[in-house]
Structure 1
Amino acid sequence: MTVDATGAAGTLGEVAVRAAGVWKVYGGGQTRVEALADVSADFGKGRFTAIMGPSGSGKSTLLHCLAGLDKPSDGQVFLGDVDLTKLPEKQLTHLRRDRIGFVFQAFNLVPTLTALENITLPLDLAGRKPDQDWLTTVIDTIGLTDRLSHKPAELSGGQQQRVACARALVSRPDVVFADEPTGNLDSRSSADVLAFLHRSVRDFHQTVVMVTHDPAAAAYADRVLFLADGTLESELVDPTAESVLDTMKQLEAAGAEHLAG
């Protein structure tokens, strides 16, 4: 299955990231596992896309390939017009630093740095000065102005993840990739983080691609792509938690029927 840039039938927007015939294979012979099998999908600029699927469906593997954290066994991944699969490791490292933002389940903040220092860390490592207006906008949006001098241990889980989101946005990357960003959070903190990601798309035209297992989280996205057994099975545009849950149930039922048959 090939999915277009926006998820809207017959409407192709400008593409931020594209997977073209992506395979990811581990092992060989009887131990061969196809984590991804011929996956093609476009992700439009200024869109919020969620990737879902049963455990082991390949959703995190796809995210890692799209973000240049892992190389496909076959196929191509493009960030804009750059083929990530052909870049030497040094160039790929620079591209990830300069054009990609990451938000992970485990926050990955530096414990010895303040919230503000964690937010500006990618720019500091690149030897770049932050755009002060943009930095102020991001800090105001995450609602932690009064906590910027605090270390991660002095922040709640939700606050830490909002700092991680701000860090991902501060360099104004082409795409922010989020891997289960609310997996360690309670429902209120999850809603805060998801609202921030949604607002970054709506108000700042950021592109966000998020892996999640939570139908309520996926409902914040513009569309949802569903994987099963390493293949792209279906998509939803303008999802609701109920429509996402129904689709997941159908995929799981189909998987159970396939195993039984």
Structure 2
Amino acid sequence: MTPTRFEEKASMSVPQDGRTPGAHAATAQIAARATDVTKVYGSGDTTVEALKGVSLSFAAGEFTAIMGPSGSGKSTLMHCLAGLDDATGGTVTIGDTDLTTLNDKDMTRLRRDRIGFVFQSYNLVPTLTARENITLPLDIAGRELDQEWFDTVIGRLGLTQRLGHRPSELSGGQQQRVACARALVGKPQIIFGDEPTGNLDSRSSGEVMSILRAAVDEFGQTVVIVTHDPRAASWADRVVFLADGRIVQELQSPSADDVYAYMKNLDS
């Protein structure tokens, strides 16, 4: 049987040269946008300006990696984009929804229904099995599970034999893959990942990145990750570099070597 495009993509350990962006990246649709976003922590002598007027758009069906030195503001930017933290100034939108206009209830609903999260801390419910953790957002929202996509995700992430295990019975890497599966199964508009491969070995990291890549290419989802790993960043359509709270560079479809070379200069 001839493999589908998804199966070909999912079997890759590294992205191929000449790949095209996600199916929707060429359209005018914007999945998320930051406009002149600032973020200030503290006051007086303890004031820290984490973001200094950042403006950045994310096209629907595009995979973006955000990189930068420690303290550059990359995680702060993602948290503001995902509605996990409030910007001090400027505007943040998901689709056509201005996050600054939402009350707590509406913000919770937006995060539940339209955003997927993969964070290094996993955020799994310890009393639930892996399967229950994966389907929890859908269960809360009262949405039907796409069993075929669920099976594809858990199979690719190597979780088929772990669905009945609770987090305490899983390794750190397995917990990370459960968190990744949870973000993907609901096919959200946009997926945010904070170091999604941070606790994984190189093989597992490649599996996670391949399924994120496939989510973009096959389902038109939008993926935004923060990472320090040039290999992970090289799966993206573009890499945005931050330094001292500002955007300093963008690279389109870079190789891992391209990313490493720029980060080396940025750190020096």
Fold match by TM threshold 0.5: yes
The residue that corresponds to 2:5 in the other structure is none
C-alpha displacement of 1:12: 6.2
Describe the SS at the equivalent of 1:68: coil
Match 1:69 to one of 75, 79, 84: 84
Counting aligned pairs with the same residue, the percent is 64
Moved more, 65-74 or 117-126: 117-126
Matched, 1:225 2:243: no
C-alpha displacement of 1:62: 0.1
The CA RMSD over aligned residues, in Å, is 1.7
Match 2:105 to one of 69, 72, 90: 90
Matched residues in 1 for 2:150 and 2:198: separation? Answer: 26
Describe the SS at the equivalent of 1:21: strand
Any conservation in 2 of the 1:106–1:184 contact (CA below 8 Å)?
Answer: no
Q: Deviations over 1:97-125 (max 9, x none)?
A: 11111000022222222221111001112
Matched residues in 2 for 1:192 and 1:128: separation? Answer: 27
The residue that corresponds to 1:201 in the other structure is 216
Please list, as runs of the form range in 1=range in 2, the aligned pairs for 1:215-254 lying within 5 A after superposition: 215-253=230-268
Q: Deviations over 1:2-35 (max 9, x none)?
A: xxxx8xxxx6642100000000011233322110
Amino acid paired to 1:235: E
Q: Normalised by the size of structure 1, how large is the TM-score?
A: 0.88
Matched residues in 2 for 1:37 and 1:225: separation? Answer: 15
Matched, 1:100 2:115: yes
Any conservation in 2 of the 1:158–1:190 contact (CA below 8 Å)?
Answer: no
The residue that corresponds to 1:126 in the other structure is 141
Matched, 1:158 2:178: no
Amino acid paired to 1:183: G
How many residues end up aligned between the 2 structures?
244
Matched residues in 1 for 2:168 and 2:45: separation? Answer: 46
Q: Normalised by the size of structure 2, how large is the TM-score?
A: 0.85
* CA 1:250–1:69: 2 relative to 1, 3 Å: same
Matched, 1:57 2:72: yes
Any conservation in 1 of the 2:176–2:199 contact (CA below 8 Å)?
Answer: no
Q: Deviations over 1:141-189 (max 9, x none)?
A: 4342232222223333333222211111222211000001122222222
Q: Deviations over 1:44-95 (max 9, x none)?
A: 1111100000000000000000000011000000100000111111111111
The residue that corresponds to 1:42 in the other structure is 57
The residue that corresponds to 1:142 in the other structure is 157
Describe the SS at the equivalent of 1:198: helix
